[in-house]
Structure 1
Amino acid sequence: MALKAVIFDMDGVLIDSEKFWTQAELDVFSSYGVKVTDDLAAQTKYMTTQEVTEFWYERFPWENFDSSDLENKVVTRVIEMIQDQDCTMSGVQGFITNLKNKEYKIGLATNAPLRVAHVVLEKLQVRDLFDTVHSSEFETQGKPHPAVYLSSAKNLGVSPEHCIAIEDSPSGLKAAKEAGMQTVIFTNDDESIDSDLADFKILNFENALLTVFGE
């Protein structure tokens, strides 16, 4: 099947930022008396920001709960860390540039809020290379539901079977598969990671064009 578009996940693919979300949860929710343990935090890893906020409130309810205010505090804290720290995945800018030069359409599909995505693309200096940037905050459900990928394909004007998604998580791979796309698992040089949901596996972006696209 001829590929016409490549759609990227963001956290764990474009930037090494998942530790920032964990830290932001700890910083924000602990101030409301929430006991943020490693075991519980692991359950929130692939949730949307709204889902994370509801997750902690259900377990440790507090007075004057304001979901949107809490989400905003978490997102603001994450953005601060993205801007201040070196978190860019090695080689990703060159990889995206090469795809664009080969006339693939480029998309971003993330569970993170859109304003985080824009900060990330500005940090990587690749915003002008993306044809669509879409967040699950505009869908009724986040990944592993396929909605964010289906909408991204629609925005690109490419049918899902002509799209390939680059993901680092089982929930993201499931979302892309259920949308009818081919899938790549990106492992950030961890050879032990694999998935039955992935059609391809890339350790890093240095030789990824050859691995996935045969170029």
Structure 2
Amino acid sequence: MDVTNLKQKAVIFDMDGVLVDSEPLWQKAEFEIFSSLGVQVTEELTLITKTMTTKEVTEFWRSRSTVKDISFQQAEELVISRVIELIENENCEIDGIENFVKLIKDQGYKIGLATNSPYRIIPVVLKKLKLTQYFDAISSSDSELNGKPDPSVYLTTSGKLEVDPEHCVAIEDSYSGMLAAKRAGMKVIAFTNGNKDTDLSIANYVINNFEHIDQWPAIVGN
């Protein structure tokens, strides 16, 4: 399909919850690392950290730690390293994502990634999914002053793609991520993956899976 006459020229993916089902892996890593540092990690508290950047999560748990001989940076690196290990060894791919990315690449769209996760996790995920060569730009909120819902990481990614934000569509699974993309001036597609609890009120379109997207050209072309 020729995309030159369509309004949307690029598709920017969130990573956690869109490319990989990594939320349980982050929770497991947080529990293991911060429990070992004397923190009482509860389900109630993990709900608070759900949409935070890794730095924000580390600060949240580190302030509750009884172990004082480990630095903030060391604690953060322990969590990141454990998440990478889990991603490499667990079946965490979102069903249909590999073929979906290849489909839209074949249709001529530029493809980007904008995530709150640390930058060094991105290559691990793309290698796991065998999708490294399909992404034209990747960005992490690590390099921004603020993570999502601030729009910075989306604006950075559209800049790398050399596509105006209004010509980009973002695929997100969280309200915080959708808000970031909206604030950047992008069209937003909410990916639910069967989750009925996400606030979808600001999404332009909603898709439940990546395996049966017959309406995809019409969604992006509008």
Q: 1:59 deviation in Å?
A: 3.5
Q: 1:83 deviation in Å?
A: 0.7
Q: 1:195 deviation in Å?
A: 1.0
Q: CA 1:61/1:149 → structure 2, altered by over 3 Å: closer, same or farther?
A: farther
Question: Which residue, out of 136, 154, 157, partners 2:159?
Answer: 154
Letter in 1 for 2:157: S
TM-score (norm 2): 0.92
On the 8 A contact 1:186/1:201 being kept in 2, the answer is: yes
Matches within 5 A, 1:155-194: 155-190=160-195, 193-194=198-199
Residue 213 of structure 1: aligned partner:
220
Letter in 2 for 1:127: T
On the 8 A contact 1:194/1:201 being kept in 2, the answer is: no
Residue 80 of structure 1: aligned partner:
85
3-state SS of paired residue (2:127):
helix
Q: Report which stretch shifted further, 8-17 or 200-209.
A: 200-209
On the 8 A contact 1:6/1:106 being kept in 2, the answer is: yes
Letter in 2 for 1:24: A
Q: Gapped runs of 5+ residues in structure 1? A: none
On the 8 A contact 1:191/1:203 being kept in 2, the answer is: no
3-state SS of paired residue (1:189):
coil
Residue 93 of structure 1: aligned partner:
98
Q: 1:208 deviation in Å?
A: 2.6
Q: CA 1:56/1:89 → structure 2, altered by over 3 Å: closer, same or farther?
A: same
Matches within 5 A, 1:1-215: 2-60=7-65, 62-190=67-195, 193-208=198-213, 210-211=215-216, 212-213=219-220
Q: In structure 1, how many angstroms separate the alpha carbons of the residues matched to 2:16 and 2:162?
A: 24
- Structure 1 stretches of 4+ with a deviation exceeding 2 A read 57-62, 189-194, 211-214
3-state SS of paired residue (1:36):
coil
Letter in 2 for 1:182: K
Q: In structure 2, how many angstroms separate the alpha carbons of the residues matched to 1:20 and 1:37?
A: 15
Q: CA 1:191/1:57 → structure 2, altered by over 3 Å: closer, same or farther?
A: closer
3-state SS of paired residue (1:13):
coil
3-state SS of paired residue (1:115):
helix
The RMSD of aligned alpha carbons is 1.6
Q: Gapped runs of 5+ residues in structure 2? A: 1-5
On the 8 A contact 2:58/2:75 being kept in 1, the answer is: yes
Identity of matched residues, %: 49
Q: Report which stretch shifted further, 58-67 or 85-94.
A: 58-67
3-state SS of paired residue (1:78):
helix
Q: CA 1:203/1:23 → structure 2, altered by over 3 Å: closer, same or farther?
A: same
3-state SS of paired residue (1:208):
coil
Q: In structure 1, how many angstroms separate the alpha carbons of the residues matched to 2:142 and 2:124?
A: 16
